[in-house]
Amino acid sequence: RCITKCPQHALSVSEDRRAVVRDRNRCIQCFRCAGVCLTEATGVYGKSMTVQEVMEEIRKETLFYFFSGGGVTLSGGDVLLQAEFAAEILRNCREECIDTTAELDMFGSYDNVRTVFEYLDSVHVDVKVMDSEIHKNWTGVGNETILENIRRASEEFPDKPMCVRVPLIPEISDTEENIRCTVEFCRKLPSCRELEFLPYHRLGSATYEYLGRPYGLQELEPMSAEAAEKKLCMIDRTSLPFAVKV
């Protein structure tokens, strides 16, 4: 059904006849295929919403927020690409006494960072690796802007508890040098309350497959929490003004 409905002839049956293959050079994302797919093997991810529509969804869980002590988390994609929109949601949450946090990559204009930080109760920021060349090799950009935005935000908003998150990726960011540099970086942040190291996993590989993109770290074995803890054994946690956890 989806193959015959595609106006661009971008879909075909794979050689083993076990899957439908998409030619992404032809696909114009009209989503007619999704409209006729009986098994929902393909679909539209996400939709445009107004602030009011988002708030209507948030209010459905108000009782849960109250009894659990939780709240609303804005996460990615990249929240800072929609800074004004995100800030308006956060402002509405504050007016309704709903606790807020966000997961931010801290890349881009500091004006966008400030716009979002203004209405947050706490924040999680992403530090992938401290060495800028390594960062650029794996992400396409250096990390200077990211680290500077984190420093500035921590100094301007010292009352906003900050959690710094670092993925522990074998032979990339799990080195003793990178771990020590990250700890020292966090030591200088007035608002840092927690440094969290995230053991490498391959949960994202299914998304790459869905998008028809190669997953560059498939050969790496997932890291257990126990293995991650061993990587952190050189840290004297008692001397730090923030918690360190896996």
Average pLDDT score, the chain: 94
pLDDT of 212 reads 74
Read off the pLDDT of residues 81-96 as tens digits, 9 standing for 90 and up: 999 999 999 999 999 9
pLDDT at 211 over 90: no
- In this prediction, residue 136 carries a pLDDT of 97
pLDDT at 119: 97
For residue 186, name the pLDDT band (cuts at 50, 70, 90): very high
Measured between alpha carbons, how far is residue 206 from residues 40, 75, 142, 215 in Å? 16, 19, 27, 9
Q: CA nearest 162: which of 84, 242, 91, 235?
A: 242
210 has pLDDT over 80: no
Return the pLDDT at 66.
Answer: 87
Mean pLDDT of 143-171: 97
What the block records as the tokens of 46 is 């996400």
* C-alpha 196 chain-centroid distance: 14
CB 164 within 8 A of CB 106: no
Q: What is the pLDDT of residues 35-76, one digit of tens each?
A: 999 888 888 878 899 999 999 999 999 999 989 989 999 998
pLDDT at 216: 84
Q: Give pLDDT, residue 77.
A: 81
Q: Considering the entire predicted model, what is its pTM?
A: 0.86
| 113 CB-near residues (< 8 Å, 6+ apart) | 80, 83, 104, 106, 149, 152, 153
- What's residue 206's pLDDT? 82
